[in-house]
Amino acid sequence: MRLLNKIWVLQSQKTYYFLAQQKLISKVRDGAKVTKRYDRPTTPHRRAQRHDAVTAEDKTIMKDTHVGLNPAAIQRQIQALTAELLTLTTSKARAAAKPQV
């Protein structure tokens, strides 16, 4: 469980600070046809920085966190933890096998 928690934290940092997402602005139905309009892709971090409801203190914390992050290093850590998790699960799976009679 410890490994999964570390992976989830790193993945959420990667998604929040570095992966741009499109948000749906409007959806109009004309009979069977649905027309959707999206805003420009941007990261959730940048959306929060531009939002009025976010306090200046929170914006400073997010900015300081973003400066200290390296997306390539995060990806390498995720891959290493995933490999470790796979090794752990496969080694336990082999130990649980029934002996042949």
Question: What is the pTM for the complete model shown?
Answer: 0.73
CA distances 96 to 72, 82, 90, 92, 93, Å, are: 36, 21, 10, 6, 5
Query: What tokens were used for 61?
Result: 């914390």
Query: Digits of tens for pLDDT over the chain (101 positions)?
Result: 899 999 999 999 999 999 999 999 999 999 999 999 999 999 999 999 999 999 999 999 999 999 999 999 999 999 999 999 999 888 876 655 566 76
pLDDT at 74: 96
pLDDT at 82: 94
pLDDT at 9: 95
pLDDT at 26: 97
